[in-house]
Structure 1
Amino acid sequence: MTLHTKKKPSFKRNLLIGAISALAAGETWADGQIRGQLTAQLSGLPLQGSRVKIEELNVSAVTARDGRFVLSGIAAGDYTLSVSYLGVETLNRQVSVRDNETLISNFQIAPTTPNTEYLIVLGQAGSLNKALNRQRSADNVVSAVAADAIGQLPDTNVSEALQRLPGLSIERDQGEGRYVRVRGLGPDYNAVTINGVSLPSPDSGRRAVALDVIPSDLLEGLVVSKTLTPDMDANALGGSIDIQSLSAFDRDDMFYSFTAEGSYNDLTEESSPKLALTASDKFSIGSGEDNFGIAGGISWYDRSFGSDNIETGGGWDFDDDGALLEEVEQRDYTISRERSGLTLNLDYKPSENTDLYWRNLFSKYTDAEVRLANIFEYEDGVMAGEEGVAEIERELKDRTETQEIFSTSLGGTTRAGNWTLDYRAALSESGEDEPEHVSGAVFAGSDAFAGVSFTDTVQPWMYTPANFVDPAAYELDEVEWASSQTNDEERSFQFDITRDMFVGNNAVQLKVGGKYRQREKDNDVSVWVFGDFDEHGFSDEQRSFSAYSANGPDYTLGTFGPGINANAVAGAIAPLDKNEFYEEEDSRIEDFTVQEDVAAAYAMGRIDIGNLRVLGGVRYEDTDFNAAGTKYDGDEFSDTSASKQYDHILPSLHARYSLGENTQMRASWSNALVRPNFEQVAPFFVIDDEEAEFGNPDLEAMESSNLDVGFEHYMGIAGVFSAFAYYKEIDNFIYQTDLAGTPGFTEYDEAVTFANGDEAEILGAELALSKQLDFLPAPFNGLLISANATFSDSEATLDYYDEDDGAMSRTIVMPSQSDTTGNLSVGYESSSFSVRLAANYKSEYLLEVGDVSDSEEDVYVDAQTQLDLSARYYITDGVQVYLEAMNLTDEPYYAYLNDRSYNAQYESYGMTFKMGVTVTNF
């Protein structure tokens, strides 16, 4: 449950004072300490996620990214120190600890054969093994992806790499992965961080972070936390995705990796280049040895591709005679997407007890899109196979948008005996810029076209008269010229204090901390609509489509006709005075500024009792919200503003019980929240005759109470079977509604805004299995099988008003939630060759509620299965060539209106092939 409190300024102070007092109150032991590092013997690579344990005391630590571990507050004596890493036998060593001294005890994995080392550290099995070690050792439920696993499949960006994990699926844009869904919850309900720092969204009205902005080449790993501990930001109902960039201490020696790649899309027959370079090294400063590290990387990918589209947008009329098509569009997209990224990370260890870092990531994503469209609007709806009279328009949209993300954080860790202090200051910025462009150039048919028909309600194929392709049959009707800019900036300051101690014979860790986040987001839109060209001196020749026509696109879903010359359109309106065509309503109503400050404090404790580890605590978050927007009442504009202050208390409890060294059970109860999207709370209000649309600054944050139980069994190298069940109860579910007819809106025919629902529920299960089949005889012992599946069921209630029946409600599934998602991959690898075939599946899901009162207007996305292939050959230990194929079955995107028989959108992308070479030095 989530507890609400009134504003009490002293609460955070009292919480921290009480927690710090508890830290200091425990029994004090002598200041003995054990430090060490775990590495692989032949490669020297540090190994993260290993459990290091003092058997007699039942106290343990987990090796960090650099393979290091610290055990503090150990009484003088002789002990057995064990190190457990998946794929090798547990290492045991007898050690002696003395008062106020630090014992250094390093470990190296010593496999029986070199091939075992390869499987543990490199390749498909090694990548999966690293991730499983992190998963096994975590206090909460996590899934992870190691950096080298991202390269095992043709995943272009971060979101595509995440789709391979259990419980995760993605939403695609033009066939490329963009947004990530976690456990059936859409991208707006999940948090994204870079190196633990919150990442703001470059999209204008959303919180969801489009992860196609970030190149996958610059990462060290990805970690998805599906349950939240009190020291984590609470802003994630589904999960929190952490993007971890490079560090020089991730490897033992100098490292570099260079990749050159070319790709080919068979739909557009376009080729695209890619280059990426990452490198790191460690240096000795002062009296230290290898205590300063520099890691950096640069990535560039310029992809040219496209798609063919036929969509009705829900333009069906369902009557007693059947489904009548009223409107349909043919669309052809030509797209160029350029991704460039840069990372620079410095790590410095001035002493054994202090680690300092400065981490930076910059990414720039430029999406240039030319969209040609033919818009058919029937005078009277027609059924498939029937002819009708239709108005036809040809339309052009030509825009370039640039999204940028920048994150920098400066911080460190200082240890003093049993105490650990973590501190960080960070700045994150994101934004989207669309310079002035042709937002919509419309050429209308001079007369209606008779004899227009179509076949197939799923993939409509249009049949048109001969003059449909004649440029002389159309004339310039309207040009919409627009620009927009969005900025989202967040500053944060954080500190954490940890105390390790013993209570009786039980190892205990207490931790308190605080964080302050200051966020500001603004959106600025400008729109000009040029029309009435005959009144502005345009001749018949200047208005004729013939003056603007271009070669027709290579469209595969029917006859398309000529294209539109964007330069000719821009040149035609250039002499006109823009000020005469400025659309003040469209420009001002979408402008807003939102400030959101969040102050947080937490206290948590962890105790080990035999094979049971319990972690519990509470987080407090106070939110201060301020926003500014515009109201338009049909005659005048006025500035509007809104402010709100609210807080939450969020308790959680996590337990992990070990049935054996490689078998464990987990259970957790946690609470989380997600604040409304910016477009939902922006204080805009626009009235157009009897129709109104407005934001709702009084929306409450969505709150979720979560239960998770699960079982994990690890089976040697890259082997695991896990099963989890989860339940989420979400209060204040937010949806779009129509208040027309309700008190205060009785004079309106339509009053569209956002509202809080009572509650929503999600029940689900995750299954995962992977295994390196090393028990088979050669050469079959190189086979690797990995599979996972997630099953979920959800329910949410929408309230609405019916003028005849009054207050009504209906039940829907949660938007963006697929009942079933899954992955299956079969791989094979030897020391010189690797191949992997992977299938990704997600069942249908609700895309949007078209009309809150009518389920027939709901739009769904059909089930999708994508098949990808990757093959790699090592010419030498450091040089590999690879061939990859994406979307081998040319899987389309298909959205439909309530019933799969009726198209809302059909889009095809073709297959993409990649070939490249990677040169690596470890």
Structure 2
Amino acid sequence: MKNYLLLILTLLFTSYSFTQVSTVKGRVLDSNGFALPGATIQASPSGKAAITDFDGFYTIVGIKGDQTIKVSYIGFETVEESVTVDSGATSTLDFTLETAVSELAEVVVSGFQSGIIKGLNKQKSDINVTNVVSADQIGKFPDDNVGDVIKRIAGVSMQGDQGEARNIVMRGLGPGQNSVTLNGDRVPSAEGDNRNVQLDLIPSAMIQSIEVNKTLTPDMEADAIGGSVNLITRSNPSGFRASATLAGGGQPVRDNGFNSNLSFVVGNEVSDKFSYSLAGTVQTKDYGSDNIEFEWNDPADWADDGAIGEMDIRRYDVKRTRRSLSLNLDYNIDDNNQLFLKTIYNHRDDWENRFRLRVGSIDMEDMTARIRRQTKGGISDGNNKGTRLEDQKTQKYSLGGDHLLGELKLDWKVSYSEASEDRPDERYVRYEQKDVPFSSLNISNPERPYFAWTGNAWNNPSDYRYRKTEQAFKTTNETNTSFSINLEKAYSDNDVWKIGFKFKDKTKMRDDIWYEYDNDLSNMDGVNYFDASIPDYLAGDTYQSGYFVTANTLGMLSLSGPEDPNFDSYVMDEFAGGNYDAEEQIAAFYAMIVDKLGDDVTLIAGARFESTSINYTGQVFDEEEDELPSDIGSVSGGNDYYNILPNLTLQWDVNDELNLNIAFTQSIARPSYYDLVPYEYSNSDDQELALGNPDLKSSLSTNFDFMGEWYFGGLSLLSFGYFSKDIKDWIYQYTTNNYTYAGVNGYELSQLRNGEKASVSGFELGFQTKFLKNFTFMGNYTSTDSSTNNVEGRDDVPLTGQVDDMYNLSLAFENKKFFVRASMNYASEALDELSGDAYEDRYYDEQTFVDVNANYKVNDNLSIFAEGKNLTNQPLRYYQGIQQRTMQIEYYNLSWTVGLKYDF
């Protein structure tokens, strides 16, 4: 890193020695002083052109003399201004654009309409296939986090957690096949076993715009087969701007549920040299979920063993708090040299209690079952109050610069980012009763099977005996330090070459420990207990869970680890084999040209080289033999490989309204961290074995994309796209019953391996328009198909996470004072986990979300808004084998919010 800093300082001190080249640069804003990204800048008679970036800035190098600069932007009047550029000088020319009333048929361009315009212009100007959502659009959806915003984009669906969108599925490919970047840099993951970025960790209020790149260019990180989501933090304003939002609401899944949201944004251009923006938010949610789960037996065994192997009734009580802060600083050394500092910090705490009734050991002949009642929580102190704390953080700090060295454009950036998850003092206490009689197991509706209990023995506290207490401490941490530099130079009027280098040094670790205690507690009726049943249980009145030990009773227990007099043992199978340390270094170099083939055709041609080096340390664990952490062995492994990824992208501007894009590209998806760990997890008695695989290769995808976009009528767009992906070395779960381990044959092995090939293809349709002066309709539909060969003895198995059908619909009304919008999001079912037999396969069921939100502008400064989300009470549902057999269904109920926003 010291060498990188030395290089940067050298560049800064030597930049003044370059011959000064005639240059025009500036910024394009709307009448309210907000940046207009994606504006087209054309200079005549030189014929040179540029596109404004996300902050509205542009630069045209190598023009001099008398020039006319024309700025065009969908929905705004085209503006022309003359400028005389002296030889070797830099001229600054800013533009303020006014709404094109004739195009927009007297629609007032504010709020939602303004957001559409910015997104369309940036999308139209990008040569690769993208979708762009601006801050104005983000603010007009009832979305607390960026995941809920992204799910409204064509070709994208989300996997949820506790009622919020968390993991992204893009063009039929699951979270591990896509990437999330923040200002162009990959975001580290707070989870222990994968590379997924928890999008519910980042509040939507912290983001200026979201760029979904469905095709990549050589200057983008290549680890994204499905696509890449780039989150762009707020830019600095051209003058003083400040706003504050205060909101409150509820989610009536629990009687005391209350949500609050406080956020602010402030920024200013203090002088010609310095500007800043500061944004912060605090969100709290008191809510929960109602959950039932089932494990289905092999239908061939139903006659003897019954249909259900296990059933859970669960109640979750959750309090979620998000805190986020971002600070951006820009400093102009002079007209040709600028420095920036971009920072963001996100912190989410989940305090959770879970009360789980589990029915198992089901005897269909004697009509009895075992019932276990487990309370999950944490220590009772001033912070946790008997709840389990999950503490997740992400933070990123970037220092960079943009420099014009003669005709050479140079930018560089040094970044540090970190993600972590801590679960300190997670606790469980379990009571159980055996041979509880039931009169029937009703599976007439396999979506809602249930037990009919005989008498009240199933819920009699005096019959439940103390079984055990458990305590866990869990820590995951990932760091990412990177340096990048890019050079760009024109070799003719509108043709440029660009080269760049990036180095990333990543570390990842997981360190969990799990204890078991025998606290010699009495039967449940001898401790504090309560009735966790909910009369209006959202999964159905049939599923009442009954009595449980209170969370405070569990939290007040004195548990101090192996030195505790009640310590019993380590729960080895919960953590042994799962801990690891990892290092990964990635060096990337790219070269590309952007060539104008005539006035209407633009070509990107180039390649990216990425070299990857990994080193992992994992654990060797035998479940039957190892009883202490000191018994666990250690094993190390590593791998080095490289990828050369060609890229060819072509854009044809048929006319001012019609764009056609074609792309032939290659991209990769690196294996998840834990899958590369050379761990060995075995059970010598049962001859079961799970192995990591440090030899896993990155999946390589050869991609073809076509997109046609027709921009018409100011705010209207009709688009069609087709895509196909041929994936080599895709990763799947391999199992065999005849593996030799430690000299013994016949082990049942489970291990991730590289498959032969897989394919994905599909198409997208999009349409949005304004009509009847104040109405806007937006809709998109995506169809995807995938197949794999020779997996678990089966052919044409879809890829995990692949969604066949997705669509989004929304209808909005807006005038000068009032805005209201209704929206719908649908995604069909998807394979979530492939098992050895088809009846065991786990599927993520289809889901439909309906939301509505409204805003009333009291005056130029004050607005009142209201939101309603998940109006149909859409649950999270998994099914096993066939759609009728529920594996898990979890309800969150609808939520509502009302609030005030004040612009200073």
Structure 2 counterpart of 1:845, one-letter code: A
Given the superposition, is the C-alpha separation of residues 103 and 342 from structure 1 closer, same or farther in structure 2, using an over 3 Å criterion?
closer
Give the alignment partner of residue 367 of structure 2, picking from 373, 380, 388: 388
Given the superposition, is the C-alpha separation of residues 381 and 356 from structure 1 closer, same or farther in structure 2, using an over 3 Å criterion?
farther
RMSD: 2.3
8 Å CA contact retained: 1:316, 1:327: no
Q: Does 1:902 align with 2:894?
A: no
Residue in structure 1 matched with residue 646 of structure 2 by the alignment: 651
Offset of residue 77 of structure 1: 5.4
Higher relative CO (CA 8 A, sep ≥ 6), structure 1 or 2? 1
Distance 1:138 1:50 in 2: 11
Which of 448-457 and 176-185 deviates more? 448-457
Structure 2 counterpart of 1:549, one-letter code: Y
What SS is found at the alignment partner of 1:159?
helix
Residue in structure 2 matched with residue 477 of structure 1 by the alignment: 467
Offset of residue 114 of structure 1: 12
What SS is found at the alignment partner of 2:253?
coil
Structure 1 counterpart of 2:832, one-letter code: L
Given the superposition, is the C-alpha separation of residues 97 and 293 from structure 1 closer, same or farther in structure 2, using an over 3 Å criterion?
closer
Residue in structure 2 matched with residue 790 of structure 1 by the alignment: 782
Given the superposition, is the C-alpha separation of residues 594 and 117 from structure 1 closer, same or farther in structure 2, using an over 3 Å criterion?
farther
* Counterparts of residues 639-678 of structure 1 (less than 5 Å): 639-678=634-673
8 Å CA contact retained: 1:370, 1:397: yes
Given the superposition, is the C-alpha separation of residues 45 and 740 from structure 1 closer, same or farther in structure 2, using an over 3 Å criterion?
same
Residue in structure 1 matched with residue 701 of structure 2 by the alignment: 704
Give the alignment partner of residue 261 of structure 1, picking from 221, 242, 247: 247
Distance 1:281 1:255 in 2: 6
Deviations 1:329-379 (A, max 9, x none): 111111111111011111111211112100110000111111111111253
Q: Does 1:242 align with 2:230?
A: yes
8 Å CA contact retained: 1:836, 1:870: yes
Residue in structure 1 matched with residue 8 of structure 2 by the alignment: none
Q: Does 1:872 align with 2:855?
A: yes
Distance 2:633 2:511 in 1: 16
Q: TM-score, normalised by structure 2?
A: 0.91
Q: Does 1:527 align with 2:514?
A: yes
What SS is found at the alignment partner of 1:203?
coil
8 Å CA contact retained: 1:894, 1:903: yes
* Counterparts of residues 370-381 of structure 1 (less than 5 Å): 370-380=353-363
Distance 2:798 2:333 in 1: 54
Give the alignment partner of residue 560 of structure 1, picking from 536, 539, 545: 545
Given the superposition, is the C-alpha separation of residues 871 and 917 from structure 1 closer, same or farther in structure 2, using an over 3 Å criterion?
same
* Counterparts of residues 283-322 of structure 1 (less than 5 Å): 283-284=270-271, 289=272, 291-315=273-297, 317-319=299-301
Structure 2 counterpart of 1:530, one-letter code: Y
Residue in structure 1 matched with residue 133 of structure 2 by the alignment: 145
Given the superposition, is the C-alpha separation of residues 782 and 327 from structure 1 closer, same or farther in structure 2, using an over 3 Å criterion?
same
Deviations 1:170-201 (A, max 9, x none): 11112111111111111111111111222110
Give the alignment partner of residue 609 of structure 1, picking from 569, 585, 597: 597
Residue in structure 1 matched with residue 722 of structure 2 by the alignment: 725
Deviations 1:680-729 (A, max 9, x none): 11111022121111211111111111110110111243321111111111
Given the superposition, is the C-alpha separation of residues 158 and 766 from structure 1 closer, same or farther in structure 2, using an over 3 Å criterion?
same
8 Å CA contact retained: 1:37, 1:105: yes
8 Å CA contact retained: 1:178, 1:211: yes
Calculate percent identity across the aligned residue pairs. Answer: 28
Offset of residue 473 of structure 1: 1.7
Given the superposition, is the C-alpha separation of residues 128 and 492 from structure 1 closer, same or farther in structure 2, using an over 3 Å criterion?
same
Structure 2 counterpart of 1:894, one-letter code: R
What SS is found at the alignment partner of 1:150?
helix
* Counterparts of residues 223-242 of structure 1 (less than 5 Å): 223-242=211-230
Distance 2:899 2:150 in 1: 22
Give the alignment partner of residue 58 of structure 2, picking from 42, 45, 69: 69
Distance 1:320 1:464 in 2: 20
Residue in structure 2 matched with residue 107 of structure 1 by the alignment: 95
Give the alignment partner of residue 917 of structure 1, picking from 885, 900, 903: 900
Structure 1 counterpart of 2:35, one-letter code: P
* Counterparts of residues 178-577 of structure 1 (less than 5 Å): 178-248=166-236, 251-269=237-255, 270-284=257-271, 289=272, 291-315=273-297, 317-319=299-301, 324-380=307-363, 388-398=367-377, 399-438=388-427, 440-455=428-443, 456-465=445-454, 466-502=456-492, 507-531=494-518, 538=520, 542-554=522-534, 555-556=537-538, 557=540, 558-572=543-557, 574=559, 576-577=564-565
Give the alignment partner of residue 759 of structure 2, picking from 739, 754, 761: 761
Deviations 1:34-58 (A, max 9, x none): 22332223x2323111011235554
Which of 901-910 and 634-643 deviates more? 634-643
Residue in structure 2 matched with residue 845 of structure 1 by the alignment: 830
Distance 1:56 1:691 in 2: 75
Given the superposition, is the C-alpha separation of residues 524 and 518 from structure 1 closer, same or farther in structure 2, using an over 3 Å criterion?
same
Structure 1 counterpart of 2:701, one-letter code: S
Distance 1:525 1:319 in 2: 38
Distance 2:301 2:46 in 1: 75
Distance 2:868 2:526 in 1: 41
What SS is found at the alignment partner of 1:458?
coil
8 Å CA contact retained: 1:683, 1:694: yes
* Structure 2: gaps (5+ residues): 1-17, 378-387
Given the superposition, is the C-alpha separation of residues 588 and 105 from structure 1 closer, same or farther in structure 2, using an over 3 Å criterion?
same
Offset of residue 792 of structure 1: 0.5
Deviations 1:538-562 (A, max 9, x none): 36xx244542422324234322212
Distance 1:474 1:825 in 2: 52
What SS is found at the alignment partner of 2:114?
helix
Distance 2:782 2:47 in 1: 35
Residue in structure 2 matched with residue 803 of structure 1 by the alignment: none
Distance 1:304 1:38 in 2: 43
8 Å CA contact retained: 2:26, 2:57: yes
8 Å CA contact retained: 1:620, 1:649: yes
8 Å CA contact retained: 1:331, 1:374: yes
Given the superposition, is the C-alpha separation of residues 66 and 897 from structure 1 closer, same or farther in structure 2, using an over 3 Å criterion?
closer
Distance 1:840 1:431 in 2: 31
Offset of residue 437 of structure 1: 1.5
8 Å CA contact retained: 2:690, 2:750: yes
Which of 323-332 and 868-877 deviates more? 323-332
Given the superposition, is the C-alpha separation of residues 96 and 404 from structure 1 closer, same or farther in structure 2, using an over 3 Å criterion?
same
Deviations 1:571-605 (A, max 9, x none): 45638436542234543321100100001111111
Offset of residue 217 of structure 1: 1.1
Offset of residue 521 of structure 1: 0.1
8 Å CA contact retained: 2:298, 2:839: no
Given the superposition, is the C-alpha separation of residues 520 and 743 from structure 1 closer, same or farther in structure 2, using an over 3 Å criterion?
same
Structure 2 counterpart of 1:686, one-letter code: Y
Given the superposition, is the C-alpha separation of residues 335 and 118 from structure 1 closer, same or farther in structure 2, using an over 3 Å criterion?
farther
Distance 2:819 2:352 in 1: 36
Give the alignment partner of residue 714 of structure 1, picking from 698, 711, 714: 711
Residue in structure 1 matched with residue 120 of structure 2 by the alignment: 132
Residue in structure 2 matched with residue 14 of structure 1 by the alignment: none
Given the superposition, is the C-alpha separation of residues 195 and 583 from structure 1 closer, same or farther in structure 2, using an over 3 Å criterion?
same
Given the superposition, is the C-alpha separation of residues 685 and 190 from structure 1 closer, same or farther in structure 2, using an over 3 Å criterion?
same
Distance 1:60 1:746 in 2: 70
Distance 1:78 1:298 in 2: 46
Given the superposition, is the C-alpha separation of residues 57 and 710 from structure 1 closer, same or farther in structure 2, using an over 3 Å criterion?
farther
Distance 1:218 1:329 in 2: 38
Distance 2:747 2:46 in 1: 72
Distance 2:578 2:302 in 1: 40
Structure 2 counterpart of 1:475, one-letter code: R
Which of 739-748 and 422-431 deviates more? 739-748
